[in-house]
Each structure stands twice: as structure tokens, then as C-alpha cells.
């Protein structure tokens, strides 16, 4: 493994188990608009929200905008904190930061929500940059969020940057930005998904991730 100095973390499925809030809000929006629930509801957890409503539910652009509005209305009040931190995450972040790593968040979740979640769970202090999607729907793709975070951090040399996530879009986004991706098995993705999309590394626990980055 390379000597990675900067580590970008996804949020949902990587730092926190946010599935209950996401699914509850997704169902709320679908019910309000008269759409049926996708066969595999867990597929909505991870990818950008706009993509999920369009690709999994067959909504047109106007319907997607309305679904996102309804979803976020509930999410901002309730769904945001139907969420919990995975075991071992605070210890992982502390060890990495104490070892001198630059830690950042790159999430497809709107940045304003990501900041509130990380502050609520007392994780914000570990991150130099918390970057996410724009609430108006711009900067929606994972690669756009990664580029945004790297720009905010003033990083031009990407040789020491690693993306950490739990779904294929993390891997795809990292590759578009020319950085490797470590996929984590405690989130919502599978080993098969990671291999199919060419994850550079796969790890099973926060402790194993930390050991691999510190004692490489």
C-alpha cells in the first residue's frame, strides 16, 4: 500500500449507518407521490439521491425534483438522526489523525446535512474539510464532490490521496479523479461489487483499515 497522507471518507455506510433515515424518507416521498417502492429498497442507500429516484423509480426530471423536496423536508427534521456511528469509527479517526493523516469527508449527501450529522456525533473535529453535494442539486456526482474537497484543501499532488467508501460510486468517482479507492465491508456494498468495479483495496474493519494506513 502506498504511503497515503490524505484520506477522504464517504459518510453514509462508511462512517455512519444511515440506512434507517434514508429509507424512511425515501418511502415517505414515494408514498406522497404515488410511486411504488423499488424491489430492493437498500439500493437507494449510497448513490446520489437524484439518481436513485430517476433510475430506480423511473421518475422524470420534474418528478425527481419534487421527490427530493419531499424527502428532504422529512430528512431535515427527522431522518437526519435516524442514524448511528459504526463501532470502531471514533477510535479509527483518532488514531489516523494522531498519526499525522489529513482527514476529510467527501459525500454525495448535501454538505449542510453532513456537517450537522458529524457535529451531532462529535466526529467533525477530526476532519479538515467536510465536503458534500450542493443542496440545489449541483455538485451531485461523486467525482465532482471529490474534486471540490481536494480544491478546498489545496491539494494538487494526488499521489498520496486515498478515497474510502462502501459503494461502487465511490470507486468510480475516485477513478475519475485519478486516486485509488479502499472499499469497506462493514457498509452497504459487497466484496463482489468492489471487485467488479476495481477497488484498489478492500478492508473488513475500521481497525484493519487503520493498521493498514499507519503500519504500511
pLDDT, one tens digit per residue, over 116-163 is 999 999 999 999 999 999 987 778 899 999 999 999 999 999 999 999
Give pLDDT < 70 ranges for the chain.
1-2, 216
Q: Which three cell numbers mark 193? A: 461489487
* SS3 track for 98-129: HCCCEEEEEEEEEHHHHHHHHHHCCCHHHCCE
**pLDDT at residue number 191:** 97
Architecture in CATH of 6-17+83-214: 3-Layer(aba) Sandwich (3.40)
**pLDDT at residue number 215:** 80
Q: Is 12 among the catalytic positions?
A: no
**Dihedral through CA 55, CA 48, CA 14, CA 4, nearest 10?**
120
**pLDDT at residue number 165:** 98
Q: Which of 3, 10, 17, 134 is catalytic?
A: 10
**pLDDT at residue number 207:** 97
**pLDDT at residue number 24:** 95
**pLDDT at residue number 171:** 98
**pLDDT at residue number 216:** 59
pTM listed for this prediction: 0.89
Say yes or no: domain 19-81 is CATH 1.10.10.60: no
**pLDDT at residue number 74:** 95
Domain ranges for the chain? 6-17+83-214, 19-81
How would you label 161-179 residue by residue, b for 16+ Cβ within 10 Å and e otherwise?
A: bbbbbbbbbbbbbbbebeb
Q: Which three cell numbers mark 97? A: 489523525
Spacing of C-alpha 32 from chain mean position: 26
Report which of 105, 88, 85, 100 is spatially closest to residue 207, judged by C-alpha positions.
88
Amino acid at each position: 500500500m502506498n504511503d497515503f497522507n490524505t484520506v477522504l471518507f464517504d459518510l453514509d455506510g462508511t462512517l455512519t449507518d444511515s440506512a434507517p433515515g434514508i429509507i424512511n424518507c425515501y418511502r415517505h416521498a414515494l408514498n406522497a407521490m404515488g410511486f411504488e417502492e423499488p424491489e430492493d429498497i437498500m439500493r437507494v442507500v449510497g448513490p446520489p439521491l437524484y439518481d436513485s429516484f430517476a433510475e430506480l423509480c423511473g421518475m422524470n426530471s420534474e418528478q425527481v425534483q419534487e421527490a427530493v423536496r419531499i424527502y428532504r423536508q422529512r430528512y431535515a427534521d427527522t431522518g437526519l438522526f435516524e442514524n448511528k456511528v459504526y463501532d470502531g469509527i471514533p477510535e479509527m479517526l483518532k488514531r489516523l489523525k494522531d498519526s499525522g493523516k489529513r482527514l476529510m469527508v467527501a459525500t454525495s449527501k448535501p454538505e449542510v446535512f453532513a456537517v450537522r450529522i458529524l457535529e451531532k456525533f462529535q466526529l467533525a473535529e477530526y476532519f479538515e474539510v467536510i465536503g458534500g453535494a450542493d443542496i440545489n442539486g449541483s455538485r451531485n456526482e461523486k467525482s465532482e464532490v471529490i474534486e471540490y474537497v481536494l480544491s478546498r484543501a489545496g491539494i494538487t499532488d494526488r499521489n498520496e490521496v486515498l478515497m474510502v467508501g462502501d459503494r461502487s460510486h465511490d470507486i468510480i468517482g475516485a477513478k475519475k479523479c485519478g486516486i485509488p479507492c479502499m472499499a469497506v465491508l462493514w457498509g452497504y456494498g459487497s466484496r463482489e461489487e468492489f471487485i467488479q468495479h476495481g477497488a484498489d483495496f478492500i478492508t473488513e474493519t475500521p481497525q484493519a483499515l487503520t493498521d493498514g494506513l499507519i503500519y504500511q
